[in-house]
Structure formats: structure tokens, C-alpha cells
Chain A
């Protein structure tokens, strides 16, 4: 079964850091672009970051540039999101998502992990 399982969310103070992880299974992880997408409480979906198969290309939404870093470990079938200088407006459920080949969109989603930034 194709599956993405996120972990690492929690409560963090403004200005703090958190590292999210996403474990992939059921498919050849190294062959796919991967993404992070977030959803603030009661709000819509927002694309956050993309990463190419070999990490040679990484892209971010403007609001997280310079604060968030997407990375991956193909040997461990894992995707990561290092989040620094967190703000209250970063509070959201963060989803790991696979980019379907040739579709430029997300064909597989994880269950999400909640990040709360509050003092």
C-alpha cells in the first residue's frame, strides 16, 4: 500500500524551531518529487515547498523562504521540513504529499501533523 506518514508536529513558542518528518512506503520514493502542503485551522490549503528527486532543486512559498528548509533521505525513504523562526501564522496541519509524474499535482497525501506556534 502506498503510504505517507508524517510526524514531528507539536507545540512550539514563537521564534522556535521544529523538524517534521514524513516516512514513505509502498512506492519507489527516490523516483518522485515531493512536497509539503499546509492548512491553517479552518482555512484552505497552501503549498509550502517542493523538492526534486536528487535534492538539486528546491522551491518555497514566499512566506517561508529563509525560515524553512525541505530535504530528503532517499536511503531512508524520508522527507523532512526544518522550520525555524516560527510564527503564530505558521500554525497549521502540515501534509506530506507526492507529486504525481506528469501531473504537476499531489496524487498521494499523508494524514498530516499539527504544528501549533504559541506562547
Chain B
């Protein structure tokens, strides 16, 4: 199985400041169809997960543009340009390239300093 490793696991941030989460996969996430199926999810306290980003850098409908995804191959990043209070929660990367055993990272907890 593809192992997804996130860092850091805890990220204290100041309101209005940027934040960055790294996600690395144990093997390339480039699929034979040319796509890279790397996704990012946000889980606010007490809520269900919500997808933010799919295929590395595509924002889902309704996701603020302060969220952006980038990367290629085995190294990926989720960036929040200016953290707001509503961004507190746990963020997970997930690979969908290796079918059908999809795997998540351990999660990164974002909190306000």
C-alpha cells in the first residue's frame, strides 16, 4: 500500500499568517492516465470531513481561494495564505492513485496560537 506521511502533525498558527502542510507518498502518485490523484480534506472539530482540493490543485466549489494545493510525484503541499479562525481543525491528504486501496495521511492539527 502507498504510505502517506504528513508534517507537521501539529501546526500552531497566528491569525492572518500563512500556514503550510506537507504530504509525502511512499511512491509516485502519477497514474498511468496522466493524472495525479492527491486530495486534501479538512475536518473541523465535531464535523465530518470536507474535501478542499482534488487532483493536487483543484479547489472544490465553495472553498475559499486562500487554500491552494501544489506538488508533484511524491511531494505535495497544502497552503493557507492567511489563516482565519474557521480554519481550525485537522487536515488530511489522501491518495486515490493506487486503486482500490486508497490511503490517508495521519492528519495535521491546525490551531490558533
Contact = CB atoms under 8 A, between A and B. Distances in A.
A109 B50 contact: yes
Interface in A46-75: 46-47, 50, 59, 61-62
9 contacts: A44-B107, A47-B102, A59-B100, A103-B37, A104-B37, A105-B51, A109-B48, A109-B50, A112-B48
Contacts of A88: none
Interface of B: 37, 39, 41, 43, 48-51, 54-55, 60, 90, 92, 94, 96-97, 99-107
Contacts of B100: 50, 59
Nearest to B107: A44
Interface in A21-54: 37, 44-47, 50
A9 to B, nearest CB: 14
Nearest to A35: B102
Interface of A: 37, 44-47, 50, 59, 61-62, 95, 100, 103-107, 109-112
Given A45-B41, A104-B97, A110 B92 contact: no
Nearest to B55: A103
Contacts of B103: 47
